[in-house]
Structure 1
Amino acid sequence: MFTVADMMTPHPYTLSASHTLADAKYLMDKHHIHHIPITDKDNALVGLISQRDILAAQESSLERLSTSL
């Protein structure tokens, strides 16, 4: 039986909370990944950003733009 340790990515690409969604999208596109751990200054995990999160933010921006026209 496999364990989580057998299947995990031991050294994932990470970003800090101060990075932009564009930074996250670029990193995902460049490395063909779908999730990025978000870490604090001590490299402790504080969250996770996914491609779905980025798409939702883009959709929300488009909706706001269309209602303001």
Structure 2
Amino acid sequence: MDSHIFLPGALYASGLTVIYTLIGEGPLAVSDTDFIQGFMMIMARVMEPVVGVRKLEGSAKAIDTVAWG
């Protein structure tokens, strides 16, 4: 991964987190945001196979594609 792409994004996200913590409700606001992000990641993991199977037009074709590349 190119560090010149990753570093500005990481610094931006860190800065937003610090600002949000200072002017928001503090650590409670950050933990609420983390909970929401975690929920969204879990939902993405649940939906990923569903979308993949639908995109490959059926579970048999999806299994063949995964098994044989």
TM-score by length of 1: 0.33
Higher relative contact order, structure no. (Cα contacts within 8 Å, ≥ 6 residues apart) = 1
Structure with the higher helix share, 1 or 2 = 2
Please say which structure displays the higher CA radius of gyration. Answer: 2
